[in-house]
Amino acid sequence: MGGLEKKKYERGSATNYITRNKARKKLQLSLADFRRLCILKGIYPHEPKHKKKVNKGSTAARTFYLLKDIKFLLHEPIVNKFRDYKVFVRKLRKAYGKSEWNTVERLKDNKPIYKLDHIIKERYPSFIDALRDLDDALSMCFLFSTFPRTGKCHVQTIQLCRRLTVEFLNYIIASRALRKVFLSIKGIYYQAEVLGQPIVWITPYAFSHNHPTDVDYRVMATFTEFYTTLLGFVNFRLYQTLNLQYPPKLERPKDQESKDQDEEAYAMDSESSLEKLSALSASLARVVVPVTEEEEQMDEFPVDGENAEQEEGLRKEREAQEKHKKLFEGLKFFLNREVPREALAFIIRSFGGEVSWDKSLCIGATFEEKEPSITHQIVDRPLPPVPIIGRCYVQPQWVFDSVNARLRLPVEDYFPGVLLPPHLSPFVIEKEGDYVPPEKLKLLALQRGETPGKEAESESEEEEEEEEEEEGEEEEDGEGGDDQEEEEEEEGSEKEEEAKLKVMEAQRTQTKKPQVTMGTLDKRRQLPQEEENEAKRLAIMTMRKREKYLYDKIMFGKRRKVREANKLAQKRKAHDEALKAEKKQQKKARRA
Amino acid sequence: MAGGGAAKRDAGDSGFLGFRSVSVDPGAARRRKRGPRNKKRGWRRLAEEPLGKEVDTFLEDVRLQERTAGGLIAETPDENLFFVDTGVGKNLLFGLAGGKGAPQIAFLSPLFGKPFGTLGQIWGKGDFWGGLLDKVVFLVNLKPLKRSSLQLREGESLAGSPRGSMGLDSSPRQLPVRLLVIEGIRLHTLISFFFPFLQRPQRLQTKPSQAPAVEVIPSGGSYNPSFQDHQALLREAHEVELQRQKVEEKLSRQLAFPTVDKAPTQESEFKELCEGLLEESDGETPAEPEGEGEADSQTQRPPGPEKKTEQQRRREKEARKLKAQQAAERAAKKRHQEVFQLRGIRLQVARRLAELARRRERRRLKRLAEDEKPRRLGRLKYQAPDIDVQLSTELADLEEPEGSILRDRFKSFQRRNMIEPRERARFKRKYKVKLVEKRSFREFP
């Protein structure tokens, strides 16, 4: 009997959501402003579970927001600023139309501006929260800082992004926080560890600008606006943690007068500080100069049996990290003008190396090419006719690979003109049973402290080698010493390849046919293992049919993975052999 | 009655402090009286009622004021209500009233005696961080003051406030604001002055997607990749391309015009039009004899069962009763036996619970997998960007990087459900463009 009639769509999910258009009207904003507001405040659209209910019976695809979120937006003070701005534009247009220049001036002086400080604080209640969102901020800022100043976005934004990113890079250098580098076909990926948080960002290569048309620049500019504010605060805080001055200042070099003259050639006084900062060659001034940098000693706790291994592992990891931070310490690099200066300078400096470049290339060069104490010169072109003795000439990839390998790799593979080993991604972590490429295997061996290149070769290969050597000797008589050098290089690379193959083969044989060695059975050791096996077998036997099926499938999958890995290894071997044969043929052809 | 009305207005007008009954119990005022409104009598009754109610609300208001402010606010002197700092020349004193609607603000400085404006207007002036306070009187000093000058009652501190640890430049701390706390104010209100904006709800701290902000390109995307990695990436890209091609082919096949031999002729078209007509007429003729047969069978229906005798009925009834009795006995026995089956039952229960847990886990995983996917946030679906690869011939050519980072970032925002996928708004003209050749330029043949 009776009761009020229940109306549809007046309760439940239909009332929890609001369409974008309705939300816009509620806030009295234009669509562009609404979108801007949502991005700034971190309010994102929602997909309701029951769209038809929410959409009041219609199935049209719409953008929904939570009503609660929109109500929250209603309290935002910058909404008023948006409205003010709208009015401002209207007045300005009118004044222009009437040619009332005084009014235009006055209006322009009182242009409404808004600040995002309170939003930053609201969205990131703790500093760690802000750090977690830094990936986006950095990527966007690095991207925008490389934009040409052609009007795709405001020049001020570009400059601001540039300044912020340079400040951040300087912090990374000062804190030695860089961990990984990966040169990809898109750009350079970096990973740093800031206050225990891993931060990944990508920087584009210089001068790579094809502006895609399917990207909404307004949206991207809004994101950047927000992220620049965030990065500004974060930089400030980071500098504070290291007792660095903010805004950053460079440590004054001792021979001041000579430098100042050079600087004028590059930049005006107003810009020179930023330019010098962005050269990344000098270290930053500290608020309090540390007297002696004492190594922090970790507290030692008495270990109990279970945690001992873990503790040990952690300690080792820590030590390795400390060592990694000092990777290039004591080395002096000189960059030739054809190599990417900024990336290399950043990486070398953030591992403790000293770096310089040609004075005409960029501001902030600290020493000249002739300096005898230079240990490495990075080149990407054929060697000069008279190389300077006492330094290694290497290709830039050596730096990147060394950083990723956490040790100074042997420079022989990276001499100019040598075919480089592949640049592997440090972000890929192989699981057990996955195919591991031979290059990685070699690297792992190097990290363990072995030198796989100098191991004894297998017999057949050795013979081959001898043959080649003989051939080489024959040739040597005919030709000069120049050829000999080349020969040696090539042989070197071949040797390595063979070494790689050997390692790979060894692994393959390990997986394929386990070697059987007769020996006395150690009963004590055998027993628990056997018991374990027995238990496993029993467990398999007592499995239910369905579970058994699943188990079989899993095991099959595992085996298939191994099989595939083997196949890949074999394929690789075939590929390498083919390459080798081809090379040999070429060599022969050349000789003939 | 007139006096009562005036007094009421007085009490109400001084309500910028929020002592109005409306501000206290907004729910009561909102409630609308029910009753028919389409007849004259109904209206009359509605009009009569408020009289008594008005008195009621007035008295309630007075009582409220007595309770909260210790007497009628209209009668209390200003010194008791506000702290008027007359020492510094440029001090302004605000009274803020929360409650429903736009909060009222009054200038009570001796310089300006009249109300100043709403909170929104003052906000518009820029240098004022007044928040959603209720019942606070505070002083705005035009000189910047340090936090230490904030007067707190003993034993209270702002240490536990969630002000975060960001190095904000223009935190309210540095704003030229000095608080004067009237008696009985809660610490919460005080804190809310420093956080004048609505606290961000906790649910907004979770990100709409768990996907990483920067997805690192697979190993094959290295500028100098190893052979295997490069091949793997190429294969992946190839498969995507193949799929796309397949869809395209299917579409073109479906939309293709039929070839000459498959195209409909006049004859086939006619046949199609007559489809079903001819067969029906064929089928009717044999159907007739069947209908006759049915009619026959209906008339010659076998007779139903014969009537049961009394004895039969009794026996059946007894049999039924016996059966029911036996069933009940069996059930009772079984129930009794269940005591001894406890172990089995426990096992069953355990199995059932395990099954439920398994299902729950599966649902959870499914939900997680669902969360991984980009949501449908608008008219358009999210479309993953192309896999960027460099062919073996173009490798090691850093002059021409593949793809665009800007697009990647844009797609990443879409992928993480932060913005809805959108097409660029296309320019659409409402009217046709009319081409008119100017007379003076017209070319004569």
- What confidence tens digit (pLDDT) does each residue in B365-375 have? 998 888 888 99
Q: Which chain A residues are Cβ-neighbours of B120 within 8 angstroms?
A: 80
Q: Which chain B residues are Cβ-neighbours of A204 within 8 angstroms?
A: 401, 405
Neighbours of B439 (CB within 10 A): 6
Q: Which chain B residues are Cβ-neighbours of A186 within 8 angstroms?
A: 217, 221, 388, 401-403, 405, 408
Q: Which of A275-279, A338-342, B321-325 has the highest mean pLDDT?
A: B321-325
Least confident of A52-61, A443-452, B292-301: B292-301
CA distance A283 to B362: 55
| Per-residue model confidence (pLDDT) at position A413 | 86
pLDDT at B75 over 90: no
What's the average model confidence in pLDDT over A379-402?
86
Please state whether A382 falls in left (phi above 0), alpha (psi between -120 and 50) or beta: beta
Please identify among residues 40-79 of chain B the ones whose CB lies closer than 8 Å to any CB of chain A.
none
**H or E stretch including A185?**
none
Least confident of A76-90, A201-215, B63-77: B63-77
| Per-residue model confidence (pLDDT) at position B392 | 74
Give residues with Cβ within 8 angstroms of A261, minimum separation 6. none
Interchain pair B123, A223: CB under 8 A: no
What's the average model confidence in pLDDT over B152-170?
32
Q: Which chain B residues are Cβ-neighbours of A573 within 8 angstroms?
A: none
Please identify among residues 162-221 of chain B the ones whose CB lies closer than 8 Å to any CB of chain A.
162-171, 197-198, 200-201, 204-205, 208, 212-214, 216-219, 221
CA distance A228 to A165: 9
CA distance B192 to B199: 9
| Per-residue model confidence (pLDDT) at position B397 | 57
Amino acid at A75: H
**Test the B interface: residue of A73, A185, A566 with most B CBs within 10 Å:** A185
Share of chain B above pLDDT 70, in %: 53
CA distance A213 to A217: 9
pLDDT at B327 over 90: yes
Which two tokens mark A298?
A: 């970790």
What angle in degrees, to the nearest 10, is found between the helix axes of A256-266 and A269-279?
100
| Per-residue model confidence (pLDDT) at position B163 | 32
Choose the closest CB to A143 out of B162, B169, B409: B409
Q: Tell me if residue B115 falls in helix, strand or coil.
A: strand
Q: Which chain B residues are Cβ-neighbours of A424 within 8 angstroms?
A: 219, 222, 226, 229
- Mean pLDDT, rounded, of chain A: 81
| Per-residue model confidence (pLDDT) at position B441 | 78
DSSP 8-state symbol, A215: S
pTM passes above 0.90? no
- On the 0-12 / 13-18 / 19+ scale of CB atoms within 10 A, A143 is buried
CA distance A495 to A135: 42
Site of tokens 């003051």 = B145
Least confident of A385-399, A463-477, B224-238, B313-327: A463-477
Least confident of A194-203, A457-466, A492-501, B235-244: A457-466
- On the 0-12 / 13-18 / 19+ scale of CB atoms within 10 A, A181 is buried
Choose the closest CB to A44 out of B169, B208, B228: B208
Interchain pair A61, B403: CB under 8 A: no
| Per-residue model confidence (pLDDT) at position B412 | 94
B18-47 residue pLDDT tens: 344 444 444 444 555 666 777 777 777 766
Share of chain A above pLDDT 70, in %: 79
CA distance A373 to A569: 44
Q: Which chain B residues are Cβ-neighbours of A120 within 8 angstroms?
A: 166, 168
Q: Which chain B residues are Cβ-neighbours of A80 within 8 angstroms?
A: 120, 123-124
ipTM of the complex: 0.76
pLDDT at B119 over 50: no
Q: Which of A149, A141, A139 is nearest to A188 (CA)?
A: A139
Answer yes or no: are the C-beta atoms of A501 and A438 closer than 8 Å.
yes
Share of chain B above pLDDT 90, in %: 21
What's the average model confidence in pLDDT over A241-252?
84
Q: In chain A, how many H helices and how many E strands?
A: 22, 9
B374-417 residue pLDDT tens: 999 988 999 888 888 888 777 655 566 778 899 999 999 999 99
- On the 0-12 / 13-18 / 19+ scale of CB atoms within 10 A, A92 is middle
**Higher pLDDT pick, A268 / A379:** A379
CA distance A33 to A27: 10
**Higher pLDDT pick, B126 / B341:** B341
Share of chain A above pLDDT 90, in %: 35
| Per-residue model confidence (pLDDT) at position B356 | 96
Choose the closest CB to B167 out of A72, A201, A237: A237
Q: Which of A294-308, A378-392, B174-188 has the highest mean pLDDT?
A: A378-392
Mapping DSSP onto H, E and C, the string for A322-391 reads HHHHCCCCCCEEEECCCCCHHHHHHHHHCCCCEEEECCCCCCCCCCCCCCCCCCEEECCCCCCCCCCCCC
**Higher pLDDT pick, A541 / B348:** B348
| Per-residue model confidence (pLDDT) at position A298 | 62
Interchain pair A200, B222: CB under 8 A: no
What's the average model confidence in pLDDT over A82-94?
94
What's the average model confidence in pLDDT over A293-315?
70
CA distance A64 to A480: 78
pLDDT at B173 over 70: no
Which two tokens mark A418?
A: 């040598």
* Residue in chain B lying closest to A401 (CA): B224
* Residue in chain A lying closest to B395 (CA): A185
Q: Which chain B residues are Cβ-neighbours of A30 within 8 angstroms?
A: none
pLDDT at A243 over 80: yes
Phi, psi of A307 (to 5 degrees): -85, -10
DSSP 8-state symbol, B87: S
| Per-residue model confidence (pLDDT) at position A67 | 94
A507-524 residue pLDDT tens: 554 544 445 556 555 566
Interchain pair B169, A187: CB under 8 A: no
pLDDT at A86 over 70: yes
| Per-residue model confidence (pLDDT) at position A250 | 82
Q: Tell me if residue A592 falls in helix, strand or coil.
A: coil
Neighbours of A504 (CB within 10 A): 20
Neighbours of B78 (CB within 10 A): 11
DSSP 8-state symbol, A423: -
What's the average model confidence in pLDDT over B346-368?
94
Interchain pair B389, A437: CB under 8 A: no
A33-71 residue pLDDT tens: 999 999 999 999 999 989 999 999 998 989 999 999 999
| Cα B77 to Cα A243, B98, B112, B135, distances in angstroms | 55, 22, 18, 17
